[in-house]
Amino acid sequence: MDAVNPARPGGRREALVKAAAEMFFEQGYAATSIDAIIARAGGSKRNIYNEFGNKEGLFASIVSENAERILSALRIDEIEGRDLRETLMVFGTRLMDGYMSPALIGAYRTVVTEADRFPGLVRSFYEQGPGRATARLAEVLEEARDRGEIQTDDCARVAGHFVGMVRDNLHLQVVLGLRPPPSEDETKVAVASAVQVFLRGVRADPAG
């Protein structure tokens, strides 16, 4: 019953999800037609309606099934470095790369546009991605504070500051299509600058 069609190694559902994800996140929900998805994925519309009910169901499925993959760029659980500066450099670089990846830029545009239509999806999207990354950084900062390296009242808040500094106006410009994602060198310079300001801003020393 559940055996995969021998002539189709991947299975219809996977092909549909893959094609739909690409097209939704590239062109947006409204601009992507069912016909176009079928044209790319192969098969027939019956497949979509049997499997997902309707277009909204397809969209909900592809977001939840692709969120993990797309947001894995922001899934920064193990951040280690010789010291806090290196840790922040690594974290900031991964954060920048994740936010600037075409996949996440496309997903961001789409999710912003359809926020009203799919409130539940938007919440899980935020919590799995930006929220989780910020929370993880806050934990790292807690540890640094316990070690006496930094000084702050609210680690979660300053974690947000750091994330904001890294995202900067760069993310806005890329989302608006005003400039391409930064190169590796540009990323390094931008992150290093953010780390420098941040570290001086929060480090523990007796300067009132």
Partner DNA sequence: CTTGACTGGTAACGTCCATTACCATATCTG
Partner DNA sequence: CAGATATGGTAATGGACGTTACCAGTCAAG
- Give the binding site for a second copy (CB under 8 A): 28, 30-31, 109, 111-113, 115-116, 119, 122-123, 125-126, 130-131, 134, 152-154, 157-158, 160-161, 163-170, 172-173, 175-178, 190, 193-194, 196-202, 205, 207
For helices 34-41 and 45-52, give the axis angle rounded to 10 degrees. 110
Which of 153, 161, 151 lies closest to 88, judged by CA?
161
Binds DNA by CB under 7 A, chosen from 44, 72, 113, 196: 44
What are the residues facing 203 on neighbouring strands? 150
Q: Which is nearer to DNA, 47 or 151 (CB)?
A: 47
C-alpha pair distances (Å), 187 with each of 37, 118, 198: 35, 33, 16
Tally of CB atoms within 10 A around 106: 20
Which one, 36 or 122, has the nearer CB to a second copy?
A: 122
Q: Which of 28, 34, 151, 186 binds DNA (CB under 7 A)?
A: 34
Which residue reads 């951040």 in tokens?
A: 79
Residue ranges binding DNA (CB under 7 A): 1, 3, 5-8, 12, 31-35, 38, 42-47, 49-50, 54-56
